[in-house]
Amino acid sequence: MRGAPPGPRVLLRRLRDLMAEPGGAQERLDRIVVLIAANMVAEVCSVYLMRSHGELELFATEGLNPDAVHKSRLRVGKGLVGLIAATAEPLSLSDAQSHPSFAYLPETGEEIYQSFLGVPVLREGITIGVIVVQNRVQRAYSEEELEALQTIAMVLAEFVASGALDVDAAPDADIRHERAHHLKGMPLSDGVALGHAVLHEPRTEVTNLFAADPAIEIQRLDDALKQVRASVDSLIEKGDVAWAGEHREVLESYRMFAHDRGWVRRMQEAVQTGLTAEAAVERVHNDYRARFSRQATPFLRERLHDLDDLVNRLLRTLTGAAPPGQQEMPENAILVARSMGAAELLDYERSQIRGLVLEEGGATSHVAIVAKALGLASVGQLERTRDLVDTGDAIIVDGATGDVHIRPSPDVERAFADKVRFRAKRQAQYAKLRDLPAVTCDGLPISLMVNAGLLVELPTVMASGAEGIGLFRTELQFMVASTFPRMREQTELYGKVMKTVGDMPVTFRTLDIGGDKVLPYLKSAHEENPALGWRAIRLSLDRPGLLRTQIRALLHAAAGRDLSVMFPMITNAAEFEKAKGVIEREKRHLTRHGYALPREIAVGAMLEVPSILWDLDPLLESADFLSVGSNDLAQYLFACDRGNARVAERYDTLAPANLRALGAIVRRAVGRNVPVTLCGDMASRPLEAMALIGLGYESISLASSAIGPVKDMLRSLDAANLRAHMPDILNRGDETLRGALRAYADAHAIPV
């Protein structure tokens, strides 16, 4: 019988001394198992480490047959050790042999040991090994013994990660740092980017494990917790959307963890064993991570992400590591993040980033909108990417298809490099068209405008060769702001837009919020059907303060020049009159107070709600121009949610019903001499744009990246010929006219 074991602090100190001793890593590991066995009063202590082929190999043992070292192997999931590796959970048994997973390995001679205590060796939540102690007699291991073994496991994890041992293929290295991975996510923003990953929130490495004075460490931990709590509280108070995505829910979850007594107590206990505050944070987090990641519910897995983020913040506070966005950027950086606020993305220097990969983030998230505006190849909805990639890893993002390749093979890299070269060549061809007129080959001029909404887009707009901005979505700048922009800020913004575009026309659309466009700082009640709910002009008319402020800002900004404004989602002519009334009122107000007014004010209506098609006469009487929002018009015409991928394929914008509706609008507007533009996404696709010209449209507003391809198409198009064929095409009786239109384009060598 050996003497009473020393306390965990003494053990940690001995472990530290032992690890600092000279000699080979294997030698030190051999001494470590002896030390642990002695400390835990166990006859056996063994360390198994993971090999690349998914097998656990016995790396060192005290008590088992030493000849079995580096020979004895277990598959993950097989035997008690394999079970611990698979579940990442500790296992404590007083009668190991009666456990269903017990596997007899004759070479180790372990059948004589009855009690078994094993814990996983975890690094960043991934099992890289298992430590086991065994006793001959039946006994129950205490909670303290389990805790002590877990702390040892953490120290061992650092030892393995330091590369001292020749675990050439620990899974950590294998899964995360070496193997190529191909992931498929949701395309967020077109473009192909080859570059190097930059973790938006890099993991904080804990290298300083041992502390001499627990009292100092407890104080450091308390101070850091206080700081983190205070910063989370202030973020919640400010309703700041610029940090960690837009979700208040996430911030609330941070707060919940930051105040969780059990969590804090466990970290304090870990400090008492002789760990530094940061090592204690990591040690407890390993445990939580292992437990949470086995939870089946997405809700709990989400909370694990929240805890990861909070721990990272705590570790940054403790170690003084650089906060996100301030790390060094490699060339051609591709940002990898769980989620990101739009403002955070804007904090990066645009010229340094090529692409964006998000674990969360849908197509309509604000960060996706900004990524698109910046022209960054972006993919979203790729769970656990951060577990697979490290800063500096080679990575490829295809924003058109949603493909992401981590540490791609040379073949894949070559294929994508070709793709990038091909795209660049095409861009160069389009660039040549930039200054050529947008005229069909039979001489019909087509007005090509662009859609924009953020200041960061303006340089691209100016470079696109477009005639002006046909749709400036004012709500985008509101969506990326953290508080409602005041009138002065709005005036400044609109003024900048007008100044940048100079003489080019620009049409401002008043706030189109609600539906899928949410302002986090604007409270709104939950709605069953937000797309059919309180949104756009409806909200503006019910909350006239918002609309008035915006109109006043626009009038101020356009003093002395032309102003063009349009209202979204007009449902009937009377609604348009009410909205126009706000402009009249503001004009009177400014005149009364001696302010200069715009030279000319054009007021237009967006046609996006089918009912307006049956109230066009009075609208055409009153509106200075019309703009067809074909995205929403098709959504309501076909009763198909534009953001729902499940129904996205159910209708085609080139279906006869849609084209007939669009044709009727343009005929009526032209008949009444009211200018009409179409500004939905279909105008950005050459085939659709061709159909629009065929229907009679002579002004379209598109994504700036589409100007080149659409101009290329129309310069080869004989508009009169297509218009003559259009009735035949429309009356073919096909479910979609895509085929017929493509056949027409092919027959006439029109690039679509």
Geometric angle at alpha carbon 209, from 199 and 91, rounded to 5°: 90
318 in Cβ contact with 220 (< 8 Å) = yes
Residue 517 C-beta: closest distance to Mg ion, Å: 9
Residues 476-515: x where in contact with ligand PEP by CB under 6 A, - otherwise, as a string: ------------------------------------x---
User: d(Cα 403, Cα 400) in Å, to the nearest integer?
Assistant: 8
Residue placing its CB nearer to Mg ion in the complex, 345 or 606: 606
Residue 643 C-beta: closest distance to Mg ion, Å: 12
Tell me which stretch binds ligand PEP (CB under 6 A): 104-112, 122-130, 174-182, 628-636.
628-636
Q: What is the DSSP string of 353-369?
A: EEEEEESS--TTSHHHH
What are the strands of the beta sheet with 126-135, ordered from one edge?
Answer: 73-75, 55-62, 44-50, 126-135, 115-123, 91-93
Identify the H or E element spanning 262.
Answer: helix 261-272
Residue 447: what residue type?
Answer: S
Nearest Cα to 293, choosing from 199, 406, 384? 384
Contacts to Mg ion from residues 618-657, by CB under 5 A: 629, 632
Position 475 contacts Mg ion (CB under 5 A): no
Residue placing its CB nearer to ligand PEP in the complex, 268 or 631: 631
How many residues line the site for ligand PEP (CB under 6 A)?
10
Residue placing its CB nearer to ligand PEP in the complex, 120 or 680: 680
Residue placing its CB nearer to ligand PEP in the complex, 108 or 365: 365
Using CB under 6 A, which of 360, 608, 688, 712 touches ligand PEP? 608
DSSP label of 555: H
Q: Among this protein's residues, is 679 annotated catalytic?
A: yes
Residue placing its CB nearer to Mg ion in the complex, 393 or 632: 632
Which residues are registered as beta bridge partners of 335?
Answer: 198, 356
User: d(Cα 300, Cα 298) in Å, to the nearest integer?
Assistant: 5
Residue 433 C-beta: closest distance to Mg ion, Å: 29
Residue placing its CB nearer to ligand PEP in the complex, 90 or 680: 680
Side-chain half-sphere of 593: how many Cα atoms within 13 Å?
A: 8
Which residues are registered as beta bridge partners of 258?
Answer: none
Using CB under 6 A, which of 473, 535, 552, 711 touches ligand PEP? 473
Residue 578 C-beta: closest distance to ligand PEP, Å: 20
User: d(Cα 680, Cα 21) in Å, to the nearest integer?
Assistant: 70
Q: State the pairing for strand pair 115-123/91-93.
A: antiparallel
Residue 509 C-beta: closest distance to ligand PEP, Å: 8
Residue 580 C-beta: closest distance to ligand PEP, Å: 20
58 in Cβ contact with 69 (< 8 Å) = yes
Contacts to ligand PEP from residues 667-686, by CB under 6 A: 679-680
129 in Cβ contact with 56 (< 8 Å) = yes
Residue placing its CB nearer to ligand PEP in the complex, 115 or 653: 653
Residue 653 C-beta: closest distance to Mg ion, Å: 14
Using CB under 6 A, which of 631, 705, 716, 736 touches ligand PEP? 631
SS3 576: helix
Using CB under 6 A, which of 274, 408, 629, 709 touches ligand PEP? 629
Which does residue 398 bind out of ligand PEP, Mg ion, none, counting CB within 5 to 8 angstroms by kind? Answer: none
Non-local (6+) Cβ contacts of 464 within 8 A are 434, 450, 704, 705, 707, 708
Tell me which stretch binds ligand PEP (CB under 6 A): 215-223, 438-446, 498-506, 629-637.
629-637
Which does residue 393 bind out of ligand PEP, Mg ion, none, counting CB within 5 to 8 angstroms by kind? Answer: none
How many Cβ atoms from other residues are within 10 Å of residue 424's Cβ? 11
Q: Among this protein's residues, is 259 annotated catalytic?
A: no
Which residues are registered as beta bridge partners of 326?
Answer: none
Position 630 contacts ligand PEP (CB under 6 A): yes
Residues 570-609: x where in contact with Mg ion by CB under 5 A, - otherwise, as a string: --------------------------------------x-
Which does residue 680 bind out of ligand PEP, Mg ion, none, counting CB within 5 to 8 angstroms by kind? Answer: ligand PEP
Geometric angle at alpha carbon 294, from 116 and 36, rounded to 5°: 30
Tokens of 335: 């940002």
Residue 187 C-beta: closest distance to ligand PEP, Å: 17
Tell me which stretch binds ligand PEP (CB under 6 A): 52-60, 372-380, 624-632, 655-663.
624-632
DSSP label of 474: T
Residue 724: what residue type?
Answer: A
Residue 471 C-beta: closest distance to ligand PEP, Å: 6
Residue placing its CB nearer to ligand PEP in the complex, 241 or 609: 609
Which does residue 473 bind out of ligand PEP, Mg ion, none, counting CB within 5 to 8 angstroms by kind? Answer: ligand PEP
Which segments of 528-655 does DSSP mark as H helices, in order? 536-542, 544-557, 573-592, 616-622, 630-637, 645-648
Residue 422: what residue type?
Answer: F
Residues 219-258: x where in contact with ligand PEP by CB under 6 A, - otherwise, as a string: ----------------------------------------
Residue placing its CB nearer to ligand PEP in the complex, 232 or 373: 373
Position 195 contacts Mg ion (CB under 5 A): no
101-140 exposure pattern, b = at least 16 Cβ within 10 A, e = fewer: bbeebeebebeebbbbbbbbbbbbbbbbbbbbbbbeeeee
Residue 660: what residue type?
Answer: R
Which does residue 679 bind out of Mg ion, ligand PEP, none, counting CB within 5 to 8 angstroms by kind? Answer: ligand PEP
Angle (deg, nearest 10), helices 656-671 and 686-695: 50
529 burial via Cβ count (<10 Å: 0-12, 13-18, 19+): exposed
For 236-388, strand residue ranges (E) read: 333-337, 353-358, 377-380
How many residues line the site for Mg ion (CB under 5 A)?
3
Q: What is the CA radius of gyration of the chain?
A: 32
The catalytic residue among 200, 305, 366, 405 is 366
Residue placing its CB nearer to Mg ion in the complex, 305 or 642: 642
Catalytic positions are 366, 679
Contact set with Mg ion (CB under 5 A): 608, 629, 632
Q: List residues binding ligand PEP (CB under 6 A).
A: 471, 473, 512, 608, 629-632, 679-680
